[in-house]
Amino acid sequence: MLSLLLIAASVMQAASPEWPGWAGPSRDFHLTARPIASTWPAAGPKVLWKHALPYGSSSIAVEGKRLYTMYRDGDNEVVLALDATNGKKVWEYKYAAKFLKGMNMATGPGPHSTPMIDGPRLFTVGVNGKLHCLDKKTGKVLWTRGLIEEMGGNVMLRGYSNSPLHYKDTLIVMLGGKGHTIAALDLKTGATRWQGGDFGNSHSSPVLIKVDGQEQLAVVVEKAVAGFDPNSGRVLWSHAHENRGGDITSTLLWGSDNLLFFSGAYQGGSRTLELHQSGGATTVKELWFHRQMRVHHSDVMRVGDYLYASNGDFGGTVFLCANVKTGEIKWRERSVVRANTVLVGDRAVILDEDGVLHLATLSPDGYKEMARAQVLENLAWTPPSIAGTKLYARDRKSIVALDLK
Going along the chain from its start, the domains and CATH numbers come out as 18-403 (2.130.10.10)
Q: CA-CA distances (angstroms) from residue 225 to 53, 219, 235, 276, 401?
A: 35, 6, 11, 15, 36
For residues 151 and 174, what is the distance between their CA atoms, to the nearest angstrom? 11
> Shortest CA distance to 121 belongs to which of 77, 65, 187?
187
pTM comes to 0.94
Those residues with Cβ within 8 angstroms of residue 171's Cβ, 6 or more apart along the chain or in another chain: 116, 118, 123, 164, 165, 184, 185, 186, 187, 190
Dihedral of alpha carbons 164, 388, 64, 381, sign: positive
What's the pLDDT score for residue 107? Answer: 86
Residue 100 to residue 244: CA distance in whole angstroms: 19
> Would you call 12 exposed, middle or buried from its count of C-beta atoms within 10 A (0-12, 13-18, 19+)?
exposed
Question: CA-based Rg of the chain, rounded to a whole angstrom?
Answer: 20
Q: According to the model, what pLDDT value does residue 245 have?
A: 56
pLDDT on residue 279: 81
pLDDT of residue 15: 60
Q: Are 18 and 349 in contact (CB under 8 A)?
A: no
DSSP codes joined into one string, 314-332: SS--EEEEEETTT--EEEE
Residue 371 is predicted with a pLDDT of 97
Q: What is the pLDDT of residue 180?
A: 97
> Which residues of the chain are modeled with pLDDT < 50?
1-14
